[in-house]
Amino acid sequence: MQLPELSEIGRLREKLGLTQSELAKKSGVSQSLIARIEAGDIDPGYSNVARIFRALSELEDIEITAKEIMTPRVHGIQLGNTMETAAKKMKKHDVSQMPVFDGDRIVGSISERVILDQITRGMDASDLSRKKVDDYLEGAFPTVSPETPLSSVSALLEHNSAVIVLEKGIPRGIITNSDLLKMVHG
């Protein structure tokens, strides 16, 4: 099952017999935001969309799972690779972060933010490109099973830039805020 489009919020709300005020209270957003979303004159942020769909999911008992919203291919990089390789791979696959592997095991992550931070701090780009990913390793992304509900995934995304979907210890997909927003906007 896919998340409904923003235009479906009003229909789902009415189907559940809720007023805009009741949905606002249950989702922790303002009634005026729900009215503007239903009118189609606002493009709400991720956290508000997540709260509204979480409330609707709980009320309608919809179980949207990680496997339904994940991007099925995980682009990562191995320890020992250069920052240049990481930057090229991020650009090629149009990702802003990726897991770092030691063989088959995820040991951390690397992000374009780390690369850009080094350059803005004055590090020469050619010097940085020769450095190893190992030197700029960030924490590993949290992992979930394919059956993890959307509410749990969205809670993890509020504090992490990505979530890895593991099945029997093998990365099967990755979820970022943009994956959730892509589904909402069709």
Whether 28 and 72 map to the same domain: the answer is no
Question: Can you give the CATH number for the domain in which 78 is found?
Answer: 3.10.580.10
Structure tokens at 138: 């960030």
The residue segments making up the domain with residue 56 are: 6-62
| Model pLDDT, residue 61 | 62
Whether 44 and 86 map to the same domain: the answer is no
DSSP letter (8 states) at residue 8: G
Whether 71 and 56 map to the same domain: the answer is no
Whether 73 and 49 map to the same domain: the answer is no
Whether 169 and 152 map to the same domain: the answer is yes
Residue 121, CB-side half-sphere exposure with 13 Å CA sphere: 9
Whether 119 and 44 map to the same domain: the answer is no
Distance between CA atoms of residues 43 and 41, nearest Å: 7
| Model pLDDT, residue 143 | 97
Question: Residue 145 pLDDT > 70, yes or no?
Answer: yes
Whether 52 and 131 map to the same domain: the answer is no
DSSP letter (8 states) at residue 72: S
Average pLDDT, integer, range 85-111: 95
Please tell me which residue, 87 or 150, carries the higher pLDDT value.
Answer: 87
- Across the chain, mean pLDDT equals 88
Whether 94 and 114 map to the same domain: the answer is yes
Inter-residue contact 146 to 168 (CB < 8 Å): no
The total number of residues written for the chain in this structure: 186
What confidence tier does 186 reach under pLDDT thresholds 50, 70, 90? very low
Mutual angle of helices 150-157 and 46-60, in 10-degree steps: 160
User: Range with the lowest mean pLDDT among 60-64, 72-76, 101-105?
Assistant: 60-64
Question: Residue 158 pLDDT > 60, yes or no?
Answer: yes
Phi, psi angle pair for 42, to nearest 5°: -150, 150
Distance between CA atoms of residues 105 and 97, nearest Å: 17
Question: Residue 2 pLDDT > 70, yes or no?
Answer: no
Whether 72 and 58 map to the same domain: the answer is no
Q: Write out pLDDT tens, residues 100-141.
A: 999 999 999 999 999 999 999 999 999 999 999 999 999 999
Q: Write out pLDDT tens, residues 12-51.
A: 888 777 889 989 998 999 999 999 988 888 888 878 888 8
Residue 1 lies in a domain: no
What confidence tier does 63 reach under pLDDT thresholds 50, 70, 90? low
| Model pLDDT, residue 1 | 38
Phi, psi angle pair for 124, to nearest 5°: -65, 130
Whether 92 and 39 map to the same domain: the answer is no
Domain tally, the chain: 2
Residue 112 lies in a domain: yes
Average pLDDT, integer, range 142-170: 92
